[in-house]
Amino acid sequence: MRRFNPKWSKEYESWLEYNIEKDAAYCLNCYLFRQDVGMQSGGDSFVTKGFNSWNKKEKLDQHIGGVNSAHNQALQDAFRGHDESDDSSDKGNFLELLQFLANHNDVINDVLQKTPKNSKVTHPDIQKDIVNAVAYKTTNAIIEDLGSKFFSILVDESYDISIKEQMVVVLRYVDKKGIVTERFLGIAHVADTSALSLKAAIEFLFCKYSLSLSRLRGQGYDEVSNMQGEFNGLKTLILKENKSTFYVHYFAHQLQLTLVAIANKHIDIAEFFSLMMRDDEWEALLTEVSTFCSKHDIPILNMEEIFVVGVRPRRNTPQITNLHHYCVDLFFKVIDLQLQEFNNLFSEVTIELLLCMACLNPSDSFSAFDIQKLTHLAKFYPSDFSETDVLVLDNQLQTYIVDMLSNNEFLELKGIEDLARKMVETNKDAIYPLVYLLVKLVLTLLKEIFQQ
């Protein structure tokens, strides 16, 4: 045979998937559940490359193998089983869970025992219907919990069984208890990876669940994915439509990206990290840099935290005379390059946002509190704060900080997430609604970075 036989889809319907464009077959279960494909029956041909030896149909059975084969081991975690007969040892999770319920509930067991075999509602098609119904109810519960609140989206790329591009979309919002919540919304398939296609896919999901871009207050994407450039274009398109959909990446991850980018771009920086493996040079460098910072009123940097990056020592590093002074000079070059890289990752607006947001941090008895910066923060969200609201916010903040500092329940808080929960618990969210609105906007936009 020179082409795929459609009858195989019925014969191996529990796992075989055929991609028309690639003219190749794949094993869905191994793709989803196998961590290590191994070399069984052609290695990863049924997972990534695709199987197309149409004249060797026996390879399909060889791929399945025996009870302990890699394929069947993957099926142990599958919803459907390869053999769902009564005496099978691998019926799949659906039937196994049903049997578990029967074993622990006499009523359910009695029904299953007395019901005719063709009326047990356990057919594979019914199993799929049940899964779809559960997914529908779960998503509806998420949308109901979100209500009319604003939210952010977190997006990452993924691939389906045929290696087609798709996006995983997660909603981030603050629920009615003041708890930051992240919920999976869905997977959006994209025809291509252009920014316009990505935006269209997100809009399709929003339309499906009656969401609006006008309620979007933040967006986050994987900055190390293969679609980084396309995501950057998507950010710009959404910002043009809604100017309050700011982007702030998780701060610690951004630091890591910065350090790795510097080490990859500059050989001498990689060499610097290699030389710092020597304890004597490290201690000497710390001493000199600390002295320099003290003389020039520069905050002393925590070197152990700044230079946590996995750069292995380079082999055959040439001997350098006056090594200590070389390291000191190179250290300041590292700092300069690091600042340049940060400037590439953080816009002026992002930095200004972060500085204003930090003023909500309750740590150290609200030492970062600044009314002027917080009212300025409100102006970044004109659809949420009118000019009158900003004036009212100013008055609320003055009363709010006095209340917070005189209330022992708020003096031991460690971060803005703690603040949000405590405000709801003590009804302060109703007493200071505009302050709480600011808190929710900050938490919706980013993961907690103002933490002691």
pLDDT at residue number 286:
55
Q: Which residues of 414-430 are buried (b: 16+ CB within 10 A; e: fewer)?
A: ebbbbbbbbbbeeebbe
Alpha-carbon gap, residue 299 to 363, rounded angstroms = 20
Residue that has been written with the tokens 């399709």 in this structure? 204
Enumerate domains of the chain plus CATH numbers: 7-75 (no CATH), 93-122 (no CATH), 135-241 (3.30.420), 262-330 (no CATH), 349-445 (no CATH)
Q: What is the pLDDT of residue 33?
A: 59
Chain position carrying tokens 């691939």? 159
**Which residues, at least 6 apart from 146, have a Cβ–Cβ distance to it below 8 Å?**
171, 173, 183
**pLDDT at 81 (0 to 100):** 58
CB 40 within 8 A of CB 20: no
What does the pLDDT read at residue 86? 66
pLDDT of residue 380: 92
| CA–CA distance, 178 with 183 (Å, rounded to integer) | 15
Query: Angle, to 10 degrees, between the axis of helix 251-265 and the axis of helix 323-345?
Result: 130
Give residue 252's pLDDT: 43
Q: Mean pLDDT, 10 residues at a time, over the chain (452 residues)?
A: 80 81 80 52 67 86 72 59 64 75 83 81 80 89 93 79 72 93 87 82 90 90 63 85 79 50 57 52 56 52 39 39 51 64 65 86 90 94 94 95 93 90 95 96 72 42
Q: Over the chain, what HEC string results?
A: CCCCCCHHHHHCCCCEEEECCCCEEEEHHHHHHCCCCCCCCCHHHHCCCCECCCCCCHHHHHHHCCCCCHHHHHHCCCCCCCCCCCCCCCCCHHHHHHHHHHHHCHHHHHHHHHCCHHHCCCCHHHHHHHHHHHHHHHHHHHHHHHCCCCEEEEEEEEECCCCCEEEEEEEEEECCCCCEEEEEEEEEECCCCCHHHHHHHHHHHHHHCCCCHHHEEEEEECCCCCCHHHHHHHHHHHHHHCCCCECCCCHHHHHHHHHHHHHHHCHHHHHHHHHCCCHHHHHHHHHHHHHHHHHCCCCCCCHHHHCCCCCCCCCCCCCCCCHHHHHHHHHHHHHHHHHHHHHHHCCHHHHHHHHHHHHHCCHHHHCCCCHHHHHHHHCCCCCCCCHHHHHHHHHHHHHHHHHHHCCHHHHCCCCHHHHHHHHHHCCHHHHCHHHHHHHHHHHHHCCCCCCC
Question: What is the per-residue pLDDT for 328?
Answer: 57
Q: Are 206 and 187 in contact (CB under 8 A)?
A: no
In tens, the pLDDT along 271-292 reads 555 555 454 555 555 565 556 5
